[in-house]
Amino acid sequence: MATWNGVLLIALLACGAAQVAKVLVSLVRDQQWHPKVLVQSGGMPSSHAALVAALAVAVGQAWGWNGPEFAIAVVVALIVMYDASGVRLAASRHARLLNQMVDTLRREHAEFQDHNPLHELLGHTPAQVLVGGLLGATVALLVTPWLPV
C-alpha cells in the first residue's frame, strides 16, 4: 500500500503546471519575465480550475466514473470554477473600481493618502477557467497511468 496520495499529487501537479503556464503566458504577452506570477491568483490559465479538474479526473480514473467519489469531485469542481469566474471576477472588478475612486479622492483629500490599493487580480474570465480546466484534465489523463492512485 502506498504511503502517499496519488490523486492529491496529480491535482497539485496540475495546479503547479497552471502556475508555470501563467509565467509563460505573461512572458509572451508582456515580453518580460514576471516570476511573481507563480504565486499570484488570477490570470491565464486558472490554477483553481486546473486543480479541481485534475482532482475530478484522477478520482474518476481511480474509483470509477459512476461512483459517488467522482460525483463529489465534479460538484466541488463546478462550484470552484463557478466561483472563480463569477464571484471572484466580480470582486476583481469591484477592487479595480474602488482603487480608481480612491485615486481620485486622494488628489483632493489628505485622509486618503495612506490608502493601500486593493488587490485587483482575484478572479478569472470564463476562458481562463475553461483553459485551466482543460489543462488540469489533461495533466490527470497523462500522469495517472504513471502514478498509482
pLDDT of 141 higher than 80: yes
Distance of CA 41 to the CA centre of its chain: 7
pLDDT for residue 149 is more than 70? no
What pTM was estimated for this model as a whole?
0.78
Residue type, 13: L
| Closest C-alpha to 50, from 89, 17, 9 | 17
Read off the C-alpha cell for 63.
Answer: 474509483
Mean pLDDT of 87-99: 74
pLDDT of residue 121: 63
Question: Rounded to an integer, what distance in angstroms lies between the CA atom of residue 64 and that of residue 116?
Answer: 49
- Rounded to an integer, the average pLDDT of 77-101 is 80
Cα 77 to its chain centre, rounded Å, is: 11
Pick from 18-32, 43-57, 75-89 the range whose average pLDDT is largest: 43-57
pLDDT for position 119: 63
Domain segments of the chain as ranges: 6-86+123-143
If one compares 43 and 54, the residue with the highest pLDDT of the two is: 54
For residues 86 and 78, the model is more confident at 78
Band the pLDDT of 105: cuts 50, 70, 90: confident
Q: Residue 112: is its pLDDT beyond 70?
A: no
Instruction: Determine the straight-line distance between the first and last CA of the chain, rounded to whole angstroms.
Output: 10
Give the span between the Cα atoms of 68 and 76, in whole angstroms: 12
Say which amino acid occupies 7.
V
Mean pLDDT of the 67-92 span? 87
**Binning pLDDT at 50, 70 and 90, where does residue 122 land?**
low
Which parts of 1-125 fold into alpha helices (H)? 6-30, 47-63, 68-85, 87-106
The yes-or-no verdict on residue 2 having pLDDT over 60 is no
DSSP 66: T
